[in-house]
Chains A and B, each alone.
Chain A
Amino acid sequence: MTKKLMRGSHVLGEAAVLAGCRYYFGYPITPQNEVPEYMSRRLLEVGGTFIQAESELASINMVIGAAMAGGRVMTSSSSPGISLKQEGISYLAGQELPAVIANMIRGGPGLGNIAPSQSDYFQATRGGGHGDYRCIVLAPASIQELADMTLQAFDLADKYRNPVMILGDGMMGQMMEPVTFPEPVDPAKLPEKDWVLDGAKDRPQRIILSMLLDPKILEAHNYKLVRKYDAVRENETAWEMTDCDDARLVVAAYGTAARIAGGAIRRVRQRGLKVGLFRPKTLWPFPAKPLEELSHRVRHILTFELCAGQMVEDVQLAVKGQAEVKLYGRPGGVIPTPEDVAHQISHYYYGAHLDEEGPGGGA
C-alpha cells in the first residue's frame, strides 16, 4: 500500500496498470490528455502496449480487438471523443467483451468547452450507441475513489464480460489528492478466459460474432444480456448516504457535484437545517431502491448536477411521486461554489417550510 499525491488523470492510468491493464489505445482531447501521456510512459515500463490511434473511433475498435484476444484494455477520452466511440461500445456489449472506458466529461453539446461537466449522464447510462445494452457506469467523487473504482472497473468488466465506464470530469482529471494504491495485479495470474481468440490450437475454432440474422437467436441473445444486467443491478448497485437519518431534505448528487453539495450541506447544517446527501456511486445500475425507501420519509429531494438536468429523471423515477424532486442544474462548465448550493438548499428548505416544527417539518 503506497501513498502518493497524484493528479486524477495519472491516478486513472496508474490504477489501470495496477489492475493488470497492459493495453491502452487513446487520442488526445482536453481535459484528459494526461491519461494517454501517462500511459505512453507507464506501459513501456511494464511491457505493455500504448497506441495513440488516428481517432477515438479507431481506438475503441482496437479495444475490441485487444479484448477479443484476452487483454485487460482501457481507453479514455472526453465527451466528443466518447460520442465517436459509441458504436464500438455497443459492439463491446453485444459481443460480451470486457473493457474499461473513462470519460472525463467536458462542457457540451458539440465542441462545448473543456470545463468540468456532467452532461454525458444520459449517454453513459442510457447508452449512446444502438441496441438494448447497458454500460456499468461508475462515478468517483474523490481521487482515492477514482483509483478504487478503476480497479473495480476491470474486475466488473471481466466478471460480467461487459464494457464498464468511469465518469470523471475536467476537474477530477486535474485535481491532486493523496491516494493509496493496493498491490499490483499480475495479468498472468488473472483467471483463465476460455472464450478468447488466441488461435484454435488443440481446440475447435472460436468465433466472436455480432451479427445474428435470425430474430429468434438475436432475441435470445438480448434476453441473455438482460439477465446479465439484472444480475449487475442485483449485485453491484452502490451508493452512499450521509446525514440522511434526520434529514427533511436530501440533495441527490454524484461525482464532483456531490463534493460541492457536501460542503454546502456542512454549511446549512451549522445553521440548523436538517439536510442529507444521497450519492450514487454506480450511475448504472442506478440505486433506485434505497432512494425510494428514503422518499417514504424525506419528501423533498434537490437534485444537483453540473448539467441542465439528466440524473434528475432517474431520481423522479425512483421516488415514484412520493417526494417532490427539484433540480439545481448548472450546465456549460460553470462550477457553483458550496455557498451557491447552500443558498439553493436554504431557498428550497424554507420555501417548503421544512424549518417549522412537526414530524416532517412543513410536509
Chain B
Amino acid sequence: MKQVFARPKSLKPAATHYCPGCGHSIIHRLVAEVIDELGIQERTIGVPPAGCAVLAYNYFDVDMGEAPHGRAVAVATGIKRVLPDRVVFTYQGDGDIAAIGTAESIHAANRGEKITAIFVNNAVYGMTGGQMAPTTVPGLVTTTTPGGRQVNRDGAPLDLTQMLAVAKGAVYLERVAVSDPKHIRQAKKAIKKAFQVQLDGLGFALVEVLSACPTNWKMDSITAWQWVKDSMTKDFPLGVIKDETGYDAGPETEAGDDR
C-alpha cells in the first residue's frame, strides 16, 4: 500500500477557518505543495493580506509577516531587499491587490521586485461579508451592488493582471482557476513557475487564481465552482498574460496532467 496523496509538509495540520468549498484552502495547499517540491520551506517568507487569508500564518509553516491591507507587495519588497536570497511571496485577495493596493502592485511589478504574488480573485470582499470587489463581475449580487453589479453604476470589473503586463519588470503573469481537477493542476503548474521565476531572479511574477466564495455568492460549493468556470472566465479569461521567462515547456508537468 502506498500513500499517493497527503497534506504537504509546508501546510500545517490545523483545520482552516475557511468556509466549505472555499478556493483559498485549495490554493494554500497548492502553494505549500510547490514550496515542498522546490525544497524552499526553510528560506521562504510569506506576507498574508488583510482579508479572509489574513490567518494564512496558521496554515503555512513558513515565516510569515502580516501586512496592512493592500500593502503586502510593499512589505514583501522590504523583506526581499534585506534578504535577497530568501524566497518571498505575497498571498492577497482581489480587494487587497487590485483595489487599495493597486499602486503598490503596479510599482512593485514595474520595479521588477523579485517576489512572487499569489492573487486570489473571488470577486468579492469575503472577510468583511461580501461587498463588491474591483473584480466583481457584472450581474453578481453583492452586499454593495443591489440587484447585481451594473457597469454604468458601479463601473466594470478591473483586470489588474492585464494592467501589470505593461510593467516592464513583470516577467510572468498568468491567470488560472480553481474550478475542477484539471484547472487545479494547471494552477499549481503556474504557481510553481511563478516561484521558479523568483528562484532564477528574473523579476516580478504573479499568478491570479479565480476562486469560489460559496458563502458570499450564496451558492453551494459545486455551483460556485461551476460558476467560476462558466461566468468569471468571461470577464477574466484564463491563460498566460505575459511570459518573458524564456522557459520552454515550463517546469516538468505532473504525471497524468491532462485528465
Contact = CB atoms under 8 A, between A and B. Distances in A.
Interface of A: 23, 25, 49, 51, 53-55, 57-59, 61-71, 73, 87-88, 91, 95, 197-202, 205-211
A200 B74 contact: no
B107 A197 contact: no
Contacts of B111: 51
B196 to A, nearest CB: 18
A59 B111 CA distance: 14
Interface string B54-82: 10010001111111100100111111111
Given A65-B81, A68-B79, A197-B64, 15 more contacts: A23-B82, A51-B81, A61-B68, A61-B78, A62-B75, A62-B78, A65-B77, A95-B65, A197-B63, A198-B63, A199-B44, A199-B63, A199-B83, A205-B64, A211-B66
A209 B66 contact: yes
A71 to B, nearest CB: 4
By size class, the interface of chain B is: 20 to 34
A113 B172 CA distance: 43
B141 interface: no
B168 interface: no
A64 B78 contact: yes
B104 interface: yes
B82 A54 contact: no
20 contacts: A23-B81, A58-B104, A58-B107, A61-B75, A62-B78, A64-B71, A64-B75, A65-B75, A67-B78, A200-B41, A200-B42, A205-B61, A206-B63, A208-B64, A208-B65, A209-B64, A209-B66, A211-B50, A211-B54, A211-B66
B22 interface: no
Given A53-B107, A199-B63, A88 B68 contact: yes
A65 B107 contact: no
B67 A207 contact: no
A58 B61 CA distance: 27
Interface string B20-44: 0000000000000000000001111
Name the 6 nearest CB pairs between A and B, nearest first.
A65-B78, A61-B74, A69-B82, A61-B71, A199-B43, A66-B78
Contacts of B66: 95, 207-211
A70 B80 CA distance: 11
B17 to A, nearest CB: 10
Nearest to B42: A201
B183 interface: no
A197 B43 CA distance: 9
A25 B78 contact: yes
B78 A198 contact: no
A69 B82 CA distance: 6
Contacts of B107: 53-54, 58
A66 B79 contact: yes
A62 B108 CA distance: 11
B86 interface: yes
A211 B45 CA distance: 18
A70 to B, nearest CB: 7
Given A197-B45, A199-B42, A211-B66, A51 B77 contact: yes
User: Of A23, A61, A73, which is in contact with the most chain B CB atoms at under 10 Å from its CB?
Assistant: A61
Contacts of B173: none
B57 A209 contact: yes
A64 B71 CA distance: 10
A71 B82 contact: yes
User: Of A59, A65, A66, A71, which is in contact with the most chain B CB atoms at under 10 Å from its CB?
Assistant: A65
A49 B81 contact: yes
Given A49-B81, A65-B47, A68-B79, A197 B74 contact: no
Interface in B95-128: 103-104, 106-107, 111
Nearest to A67: B78
B44 to A, nearest CB: 7
Contacts of B42: 199-202
A88 B70 CA distance: 12
A197 B79 contact: yes
Given A51-B81, A65-B78, A199 B104 contact: no
Contacts of A211: 50, 54, 66
Contacts of A53: 74, 107
B178 to A, nearest CB: 25
A67 B82 CA distance: 9
Contacts of A25: 78
Contact of A65 (B54, B76, B106): B76
B55 to A, nearest CB: 8
Contacts of A23: 78, 81-82
Given A55-B103, A209-B66, A63 B78 contact: yes
Contacts of B68: 61, 64, 87-88, 91, 210
